[in-house]
Amino acid sequence: MTKMEYMRPVTVGDAARAERCARGTVAIVDDDPLILEALSALLSFEGYACDTFSCAQDYLDSLSDSVPRFPGPRCVLCDVHMPSMDGLALQACLASHPEITLVLMSGVSRVEQVISAFRAGASDFLLKPIDDELLFAAIAKALRASQQYEENSHVRAHFLARKASLNRRELEVIVMAAHGRLIREIADELGIAERTVKLYKQRASEKLGLKRARDLVRLVDQGLL
């Protein structure tokens, strides 16, 4: 995954925008311009950065252009029923952007659509007309999920970098220890002294920034070791 290029705010206008983006960027996609107007007004009032698009393709194009953005969580609020690409198709295209969460909205409630939307990982599904409290709750939840994902991915990246800094022996020892092997067993298997094993294990733990034995087990659960 490429690293994001983040802008630094320069002008006053930039600063305002940056503040909004930090709270959350909501991309609203609907073929009805009046709805775009009404919803973006409401969400802007709540302090979010709103970008409106009248078709899903426009939004996807905006993702792939290399304009750098201000940092912050991102989500999309999209109508299910649109000509050419509809909300569910957009959801499929966004699979490659797991850090962008999706809230769908619709004027009719087709059960199959709702089910498949949630199965494909939508954060929420709102029925029009949307009550403001419900809208804010759904957007907040979606942005929180986006935030969480970003944080998790940073943490992952950070850990993998640290793991790369271990040498071969340190890695072998800490992996075996993580899988519950005793120091004596590790020493026997690798053909080194127990004292050496203890040294390697301690060094690896420091490099990885592990504090408790529990952390080691958790790393195995997360598939990192």
Partner 1 sequence: MDFFDLRTAYLITALMYLIVPVATWSVLASERSRSASLWCAGSLLNGIATWMAIIPDPMSVLTYKLLIRVVMCLGILGRIQSLLLLGGQSMKARTILLIVLANVLFFEIQRFFFDERYTQVFAFLFHGLLYGWLSFIAFWLYRKGRGAGAILIGATYLIVNLLLLQIQTLIIRSDFSMDFLSPHPATIALAIVGVISAFMNHIGYVGMVLEGVRARELEAVAARARSEVTHRLGEQVAQLQRQKVLGEMSSTLAHELSQPLTVVLSSAQLARRGVASGQLDKAALGVLLQRVIGGSQRIAQIIDRIRTYIRPSTLTRKATNLGNVVADVVEMLVLDVDERKALLNLRLPPRPVWVTGDFVQLSQILLNVVRNALEAGAYLPGREPVLIELLQDGDQALVRVSDAGPGFTQEALEQASRSFFTTKPDGLGLGLPISSAIASQHGGTLTWHNAPQGGAVVELRLPILQTPEQDTE
Exposure b/e, 190-207, CB count within 10 A at least 16 = b: eeeeeeebeebbebbbeb
Choices 11-19, 47-55, 128-136, 158-166; region in contact with partner 1 by CB under 8 A: 128-136
Task: Give the tokens for residue 217.
Answer: 């087990």
Binding region for partner 1 (CB under 8 A) out of 66-74, 82-90, 142-150, 165-173: 82-90
Is 17:68 a contact under the CB 8 Å cutoff? no
| Smallest distance from partner 1 to CB 174, Å | 54
Neighbour order of strands in the sheet with 100-106: 49-53, 25-29, 74-79, 100-106, 124-127
The HSE-up count of residue 105 (CA atoms within 13 Å, CB side) is 22
What minimum distance in Å lies between the beta carbon of 105 and partner 1?
8
Minimum distance of partner 1 from residue 19's CB (angstroms): 16
Over the window 10 to 39, marking each residue x when it contacts partner 1 by CB under 8 A and - when it does not, the resulting string is: ----------------------x-xx-xxx
Range in contact with partner 1 (rule: CB under 8 A) among 107-115, 117-125, 138-146, 151-159: 107-115
Q: State yes or no: residue 115 binds partner 1 (CB under 8 A).
A: no
User: Contact at 8 Å (CB) between 177 and 199?
Assistant: no
Residue 176 beta carbon to partner 1: minimum distance, rounded to whole angstroms: 56
**HSE toward the beta carbon, residue 204, CA cutoff 13 A:** 25
Nearer of residues 52 and 106 to partner 1, judged by Cβ: 106
